[in-house]
Chain A
Amino acid sequence: MSTRALSLDRAAPSAAGTPEWKRYARAYARNASSMAGLAIVAIFLVIAAVGPWIVPYPEDGRGAVHLDAKLQPPSRAHWFGTDEVGNDVYTRVVLGARVSLQIGLIITVLAALLGVPLGIVAGYLRGAAGELIMRITDVFLSVPALVLALAVVGALGPGILNAMLALALVWWPGYVRLVQGKTLALAQETYVEAARAGGAGRLRIVLLHILPNCVSPIVVKVSMDMGSAILAAASLGFIGLGAQPPYPEWGAMISHGRNYLPTWWWYSAFPGLAIYFTVLGFNLVGDGLRDLLDPKSRG
């Protein structure tokens, strides 16, 4: 509701021309928490990339059964203990990184692909179509994402794919709001008017003058949303509507481990820590990027 007003009176054009990336990198590196976030995200990405090759029991990610080793406490052989069918929790947490990365990427990329063009249409063309887009956006934003996702998954049926679809479907309005506000402000800028006066077509103005200037807030939002999307997908997994066993998804693991509290605490404790650090990492990176690229929207 307030986003539009804020971006109107606070909007400032980003610096045109090539970004001096070294200066930016140095400014980013000066902030300890941003660097901590970057380190966490880097570790997460490495684990997601090489996970299947570094885990001690790769077959446990596909739901192998070793009943002789079930519910063992953390030990040298099983760093994070084992679950009720004897799967190594450490293996499953490591493999879960890749799952979470995929989930986060798919949700945010789909949402941005849907939201950014709509936001530009609403902000630049305005008119009845723009008005309609914004009204629909408002309606979507009036229901908390998790509730709406629950309703959509309820309609589609549980499963990781449906959960991702549902979350992408409830995630795009945020991008429409962001881009529409930014576009409205940019459309008033002198250089856009100059381009228009020079006879540039709408498409050209949008692609060459408006879109590039929307990139930094979009990048900031994407990095923030990666964390929240992973969290939301884990939440759906926790209530049993997301990933189904034996898929190594953190939320679903916590949900199963819950039945084995308090004695077998490691089963749900470690996947939770994994979610926490991953989301924390993306949030810190998002914060750092925002301070750097879009300092006016800090808050």
Chain B
Amino acid sequence: MLFGLLCLTFAISHVMPGDPARLAAGPDANQSMVDTLRARYGLDRPLPVQFARYVGGLARGDLGESLRSRNTVRDDLLRYFPNTFELVTLSLLLAVALGVPLGMLSAAYRDTWIDHWTRVVSVSGVALPAFWLGLMLQLLLALYMGWLPLGGRLGLTAAPPAPITHLLFVDAALRGEWRTLGDALAHAVLPVVTLCFPALASILRVNRAEMLETLGQDYIKTARAQGFSGFRVVTRYALRNAMIPTLTMIGLRYGWMLGGTILVETVFDWPGIGLYAVSAAVSSDFQPIMGVTLLIGLNVMLANLLVDLAYGWLDPRIRRPRTT
């Protein structure tokens, strides 16, 4: 899998008809400048040689250099990834914390007003363009109402805490800088809500559908007949079984969110790898984009692995054959 991912990023960066050297050199460059750059990146070598050099470089942690920031991509990613990690983790937690109970409620109170409203949320969530939702939230809550900050991670006057884990929330809490933590949380509200909404919608949707199916099964009827309370039946017996497809969706959505950070970080000026990739892409700075692609691909693989492990924990009958 990992090898495949390397092949893919290599194919995009080296084999596709686009010419990274020409892009990097800019539209006004003459042929000799392009050739110089091509030689410098080793793009004039045969493809297998290029691939070997590419993989060798990656093995040493060399992801190339950003033309724009003049830093190595590795350093940039190390600096920006913690911000993205915090954004995605908070959004996913919020999406699960809201999506699972809402899906459960919606199924338990099928065809009531609760169900109708949660369904409106679930169909809207996947159709709303995240970047537009973000802009409209900014417009209403930040610009008109002034309740929340517009973007960034901290206000202009706040200094970030001295790094321990490089995770801003954790560091602020560990250092006891509560004002900074509050400021950081206020800055996180809009991006987290924006990123969470589509995921919330699909988690809710899957959980509702699975709960409905599970609630119709015989063992649930038996449990009800034995006099267990409705609450206990729903939360204890039905939810556990409905969680397996829901978990698949959570895993899928984690990957989607990492992609979504590209948009949400752009809207909210959140200094993560999404914004980093976009600024690199619009200035034809190629190496950072490949670095981000690789990093996100690795994260998704890791998430899939965790989901697979969680299946076994939720349902001991599952001894899944290796699928990837």
Q: Spell out A's residues near B (CB within 8 Å).
A: 1-2, 4-5, 33, 135-136, 138-140, 142-148, 150-158, 227, 231, 234-235, 238-241, 251, 254, 258, 261-262, 265, 268-269, 271-272, 275-277, 279-280, 283-284, 287, 298-299
Contacts and interface: CB of A to CB of B under 8 A. Distances in A.
A271 B131 CA distance: 12
Q: Which of A136, A238, A262 has the most CB of B within 10 A?
A: A238
Given A155-B286, A284-B123, A143 B293 contact: yes
Contact of B304 (A142, A144, A148, A261): A142
B272 interface: no
B301 interface: yes
A144 B256 contact: yes
B135 A268 contact: yes
B133 to A, nearest CB: 8
B215 interface: no
B197 to A, nearest CB: 12
A251 B209 CA distance: 32
Nearest to B251: A1
Contacts of A154: 280-281, 284, 286, 289
B300 A143 contact: yes
Interface in B263-314: 263, 266-267, 277-278, 280-282, 284, 286, 289-290, 292-293, 296-297, 300-301, 304, 308
A1 B304 contact: yes
A285 to B, nearest CB: 12
Given A139-B1, A147-B277, A262-B143, A298 B23 contact: no
B296 A254 contact: no
B123 A155 contact: no
Interface stretch (B8-16, B47-55, B94-102, B167-175): B8-16
A4 B322 CA distance: 12
B76 interface: no
Contact of A275 (B129, B263, B282, B290): B129
Nearest to A258: B135
Given A241-B281, A258-B267, 4 more contacts: A1-B323, A142-B297, A147-B262, A272-B129
A150 B277 contact: yes
A298 B211 CA distance: 12
B115 interface: no
B260 interface: yes
Given A2-B248, A138-B4, A238-B263, A151 B132 contact: no
A271 B320 CA distance: 46
Main secondary structure of the interface of A (DSSP, over half): helix
Interface of B: 1, 4-5, 7-9, 12-13, 16-18, 20, 23, 119, 123-124, 126-132, 135-136, 138-139, 143-144, 206, 209-210, 245, 248, 255-256, 258-260, 262-263, 266-267, 277-278, 280-282, 284, 286, 289-290, 292-293, 296-297, 300-301, 304, 308, 320, 323-324
Given A152-B12, A154-B289, A155-B13, A275 B18 contact: no
Contacts of A5: 320, 323
Contacts of B129: 231, 234-235, 238, 251, 254, 272, 275-276, 279
Contact of A265 (B17, B139, B260): B139
Contacts of B5: 139, 142-143
Contact of B258 (A147, A235, A261): A147
Contact of A268 (B132, B143, B281): B132
B290 A239 contact: no
A142 B132 contact: no
A262 B286 CA distance: 34
Contacts of B266: 238-239
Contacts of A140: 8
Contacts of B138: 261
Nearest to B275: A239
Given A138-B324, A241-B281, A261-B143, A227 B258 contact: no
A33 B9 CA distance: 41
Given A261-B143, A299-B206, A152 B259 contact: no
8 contacts: A147-B293, A151-B290, A154-B284, A155-B13, A239-B263, A265-B139, A279-B129, A298-B209
